[in-house]
Every structure is written in structure tokens, then in C-alpha cells.
Amino acid sequence: MLKKPAQTCCDIHPIIRDRWSPRAFDTRPVPHDALLSVLEAARWAPSSNNVQPWRFIVATTTDLQAHAAAVTGFNVRNQRWAKNAPVLIFALARKVNDAGAANGAAAYDTGAAVAQLVLQATALDLVVHQAGGIEKDHIRAMYQVPEDTDIVVGLALGYQGDADSLPEDLPTREREPRARKALTDIVFAGVYGEAAKL
Ligand SMILES: Cc1cc2nc3c(=O)[nH]c(=O)nc-3n(C[C@H](O)[C@H](O)[C@H](O)COP(=O)(O)O)c2cc1C
């Protein structure tokens, strides 16, 4: 299976190094305990005032109708690969706390929960591809998501598949090297924009 470990300047945990976002999924289902485990990892994310604003809508191929409906939540370009993932998840962020006060950290905290979900999946030899290219109005209507809750991202979860199973331009994109900005471009000291001497 195609691997694309991060090219790092120093050692990082293998789970972080080896995680990447394949679009090729095997149709093999995700065992129930593995699905539970990745959701549990998300549940234990830290959050501002422990508000836990994240919500998840899950559809798996154990219910083909629900899975087919979830596929329509992805935009057409993303549907090309998301439809093969046996688990589709939409991550939502509730913009108010349990007392009804605005929670400005809702999106930040939901991102942290998704990051934990993704790393737990990696630890279980699963892969996740996140998608901002989703049909938010359609998702809101389909799942009756209340107005106080933002639809943040779609997640395709499953076992990695063969890159050549992908259509059109996607096998080539699957093999593109992963790239990141240098630490000197993102870590500053003294003045914003001045690279920290690490
Ligand atoms: C919030 C978010 C939205 C994304 N949206 C899309 C998307 O709509 N379609 C897509 O193919 N990939 C999407 N991606 C995947 C990114 O392109 C990918 O994570 C990035 O290129 C880094 O690659 P890596 O995850 O393999 O390191 C998204 C990732 C994130 C975190």
C-alpha cells in the first residue's frame, strides 16, 4: 500500500509521521470496535471550559441507504472517492454552550476532536480523508441540524485501497509528494514574521 511518511527535521511520533490523507479506500468494513474507538478518541479531546462542542453524524455501509445518503453530503468532486469509504462522518460544532451562551472556541475545539479521531484511526491502521468540500445546506436539511450548530467537515474513514482504483486525475494526485512549509516560516520569536532560531 502506498505510504507517504512525513519528511521531518527530527523524530516525531510514528502515528503523526505516517498519517496522510489517501483518497483510495478499500470497501472492507471498519469493525464496530474500531469505529467506537475513533469516536471515543474524539470524545476525550480538550475543549474550552470543557464545553465539548463537537457533534458527529455517522453513516456506515451496514446501512447502505444511510451510507448512500451521506455520500450526497460531499460535493461532486469529493464523491468520486468518498463513496468508497465504508464510514462517512460529518463533524459539527455547536456554537453555544449548554447554557446558551456563544462559544467562540467551538470550531477550534471541534478541530482538536477531529485530530484525535484521525490519529486514533491511524493507530488502528485505518485512514481518514477530511473534506471541506461538502454540501452544507443539504447536510443541514438531510439531518435536521439546528441553526446553532455549524457543519464543519466531512470525513471518509476506512482501510486504504489501491491508488489505481481511483478515477480520472486521482491516481496521479494520490502519488504526489506531501509538502509542508518550513518551521522557519511558521515559528517566530521576538517579532511576528521573524523566524525563531530553533
Ligand atoms: C479542513 C480540511 C478540509 C479539506 N478538504 C478537502 C477536500 O474538500 N477535498 C480533498 O480532496 N481533500 C481535502 N482535505 C485534505 C487536504 O487536502 C490534506 O489534508 C492536505 O493536502 C495535506 O495532506 P495530508 O493530509 O496527506 O498530509 C481537507 C483537509 C482538511 C483538514
Ordered structural domains, the chain, with CATH: 14-161 (3.40.109.10)
Nearest ligand 1 atom to alpha carbon 134: 8
Ligand 1 contacts CB of residue 21 (under 6 A): yes
Closest-CA residue, ligand 1 atom 15, reads: 130
Report the alpha-carbon distance of residue 128 to residue 122 in Å, rounded.
8
User: Where residue 49 falls among pLDDT bands split at 50, 70, 90?
Assistant: very high
The CA 32 to ligand 1 mean position distance, Å, reads 25
Region 182-190 average pLDDT: 98
Ligand 1 contacts CB of residue 14 (under 6 A): no
Ligand 1 contacts CB of residue 5 (under 6 A): no
User: Where residue 121 falls among pLDDT bands split at 50, 70, 90?
Assistant: very high
22-45 pLDDT per residue, tens: 999 998 999 999 999 999 999 999
The CA 193 to ligand 1 mean position distance, Å, reads 26
Q: Please report the pLDDT score of residue 3 as a whole number.
A: 98
Ligand 1 contacts CB of residue 79 (under 6 A): no
Closest-CA residue, ligand 1 atom 12, reads: 131
Distances (CA, A) of 176 to 56, 121, 143, 170: 30, 22, 35, 10
Closest-CA residue, ligand 1 atom 13, reads: 131
Region 140-147 average pLDDT: 98
Q: Please report the pLDDT score of residue 98 as a whole number.
A: 95
Nearest ligand 1 atom to alpha carbon 20: 26
The CA 115 to ligand 1 mean position distance, Å, reads 12
Region 167-191 average pLDDT: 97
The CA 75 to ligand 1 mean position distance, Å, reads 14
The CA 129 to ligand 1 mean position distance, Å, reads 7
Q: What does the CA dihedral 140, 141, 144, 147 come to, rounded to 10 degrees? A: 50
Say what percent of the chain tops pLDDT 90.
Answer: 99
Ligand 1 contacts CB of residue 130 (under 6 A): yes
- Total length of the chain: 198
